[in-house]
Structure 1
């Protein structure tokens, strides 16, 4: 492929085209694990989000993490969803979260170029957006998270990962590289965009390198493998300064 699959406009095109079927495809083809991993991602947030808190959902997609986040922290004042895909956000508001619209703001932008204010967030969360960045972009994202968090602010992020060392890894990769593209070709008219999501996932590896980048920015970080490493997560906080 001659195109740069990590170029912001390329990523936008993939997810704009995926948006109509994304929720169904993600849930069915992960056997429901994506929903479980979103719940676990929220559960990994340090229990320090106070009433009136405001934070960012980066690479927010269809906003499927919002119900879990608002259930655990019902007194959150606002979630600011940042995503380059207008199609994904429209899908979120139309199908899932219209009754929460007064608590959700949306910034349609490349998150790495967005003008998010310094020390503006009590929390940052992201589910399944890390894979769409290359290592250099991950480093810029780590700097952005550290800059945006308030002292004492918390974060949690999860991504589908390559379960290296798992005895069923070959079956997992067969599912990702063969089964999912076949489902797309038969049932989704072969647009190839969901197959691209599989490519992003296999290229990503796991979140261990990103955890190191967050630590280099001075954040306290916990790294965790979920379901034998089929997903990996990072969570922690920005230390309070005396």
Structure 2
């Protein structure tokens, strides 16, 4: 298959990227985002706005290594359990090895394509997702919006955040140079990877921002708020199911 014929949104392709870069993902994302990813994860949890009723359960979709869980359990210690769904076995393995041994009784794992995982309808008090939206094309995003509406119980909350293309920001050219030029160079010189991290820039610029996904969530019957972070370098959607 030629490079031009590769579908970068095919689940097998996405799984390969994150399986290969899983061991270096946390270091790379934290260092090269200058700590912004941790700040955005915390803000994503803040936008979830869960009631303090206790016994809540939900899903972390495209969960990766579960770096958002400490923020979730710190802000909502009464959350009883969370099911983490991710297609990458490498990311799952890293999450189980380095993360949250003390929280293992509250976290279940589903290693699968989120659309093939047969998650039960109206089973979630909340849905959370950080930095997974960009790996979906338009059709997949619409399917994800429908899935979110199907999984949530009435009154259930959701919050998604994603690195985005800050169109209209006067420093956007420098930001894109950083994503598409500097990050691949860092990987090539210091990480000796298969240039998988270079795909971050491609996915982000293709994704644009979360406005379209917000509209899809509304069309699925959810109440939605869209928010920009740091001049649009990340965007998020949050809300609830009436």
**TM-score by structure 2 length?**
0.97
- The residue that corresponds to 1:54 in the other structure is 57
- The residue that corresponds to 1:130 in the other structure is 133
Alpha-carbon distance in structure 2 between the residues aligned to 1:202 and 1:24: 22
The structural deviation recorded for 1:237 is 0.2
Confirm whether residue 174 of structure 1 aligns to residue 177 of structure 2.
Answer: yes
- The residue that corresponds to 1:96 in the other structure is 99
- The residue that corresponds to 2:108 in the other structure is 105
Of the three residues 171, 189, 201, the one matched with 2:192 is 189
Mapped contact 1:49–1:123 kept (Cα < 8 A): no
Listed one character per residue, the Cα deviations across residues 37-92 of structure 1 (whole Å, up to 9, x for unaligned) are 00000010123253111100000001000000001110111110000001101111
3-state secondary structure, aligned to 1:151: strand
Mapped contact 1:49–1:122 kept (Cα < 8 A): no
Listed one character per residue, the Cα deviations across residues 89-116 of structure 1 (whole Å, up to 9, x for unaligned) are 1111211222211111000110012201
Mapped contact 1:46–1:237 kept (Cα < 8 A): no
Confirm whether residue 201 of structure 1 aligns to residue 204 of structure 2.
Answer: yes
Of the three residues 222, 229, 233, the one matched with 1:230 is 233
Aligned residues: 239
Alpha-carbon distance in structure 1 between the residues aligned to 2:8 and 2:52: 36
Alpha-carbon distance in structure 2 between the residues aligned to 1:200 and 1:232: 14
Confirm whether residue 63 of structure 1 aligns to residue 52 of structure 2.
Answer: no
Q: Give RMSD over aligned pairs.
A: 0.8
Confirm whether residue 18 of structure 1 aligns to residue 26 of structure 2.
Answer: no
Alpha-carbon distance in structure 1 between the residues aligned to 2:171 and 2:129: 27
Confirm whether residue 210 of structure 1 aligns to residue 213 of structure 2.
Answer: yes
3-state secondary structure, aligned to 1:21: helix
Confirm whether residue 161 of structure 1 aligns to residue 161 of structure 2.
Answer: no
Consecutive aligned runs of 4 or more in structure 1 exceeding 4 Å deviation? none
Alpha-carbon distance in structure 2 between the residues aligned to 1:199 and 1:108: 25
3-state secondary structure, aligned to 2:63: coil
Mapped contact 1:221–1:235 kept (Cα < 8 A): yes
| Unpaired segments ≥5 residues, structure 1 | none
Alpha-carbon distance in structure 1 between the residues aligned to 2:120 and 2:88: 21
Alpha-carbon distance in structure 2 between the residues aligned to 1:49 and 1:68: 15
Alpha-carbon distance in structure 1 between the residues aligned to 2:191 and 2:86: 24
Q: Cα distance 1:3–1:105, how it changes in 2: closer, same or farther (>3 A)? A: same
Mapped contact 2:176–2:201 kept (Cα < 8 A): no
Mapped contact 1:81–1:104 kept (Cα < 8 A): yes
Alpha-carbon distance in structure 1 between the residues aligned to 2:204 and 2:78: 34
Of the three residues 21, 30, 33, the one matched with 1:30 is 33
| Unpaired segments ≥5 residues, structure 2 | none
